[in-house]
Amino acid sequence: MTELVKVDARILNKVLSDKSAVLTLHIPADLDYFKGHFDQAPILAGVVQLHWAVEYARQYLNMGVADVMDIKVLKFQEMILPGQDVVLTLTKKSTEKVLFSYQSSVQSRMANGDIKSYSSGRLIFAETAVHPVLEEITLTISEDNKAGEV
């Protein structure tokens, strides 16, 4: 199996807040993901777009290492091609939900100036916090046990 080495988009710009991250990404033409997908007309695979959305959500929206449990309203509308600049917008809706969308950058808008939507969806992360009832049960059990008891 071939090891993937060049796997990251280049971040050209980022605007961060507590609830959102807007990243302008350059998609290098020599990404390993383009090899074989497809040789005559390479496109950025949807699974790569999802992977980047998850990783950037973890990094910039403090989603931690929680697993993605579900992906909802997933839409792939246009192909992302080698050499393009795209804007990835991540919006944290709750402790478990992050909306993502890939859209055209200012430089790569359509001829009439409209924004092109490439893909979008909602990532559902596993809950990482301990449920209050479980926390109380754990505390009660701990208080009832004496040192040395199992």
Domain count of the fold of the chain? 1
Residues in the chain predicted with pLDDT less than 50, given as ranges, are 130-150
Domain of 68 in residue numbering reads as 10-144
| 149 domain-assigned | no
| 2 domain-assigned | no
DSSP 8-state symbol, 46: H
> What is residue 110's predicted lDDT score, i.e. its pLDDT?
66
| 55 domain-assigned | yes
| 43 domain-assigned | yes
CATH of the domain at 88: 3.10.129.10
| 79 domain-assigned | yes
| Rounded CA Rg of the chain | 20
In sequence order, the β-bridge partners of residue 26 are 10, 85
| 150 domain-assigned | no
| 115 domain-assigned | yes
Contacts of 28 (CB under 8 A, 6+ apart): 6, 9, 10, 82, 83
The pLDDT tens digits for 52-91 are: 999 999 999 999 888 999 999 999 999 999 999 999 999 9
What distance in Å separates the CA atoms of residue 63 and residue 60, rounded to the nearest whole number?
8
| 4 domain-assigned | no
> What is residue 112's predicted lDDT score, i.e. its pLDDT?
77
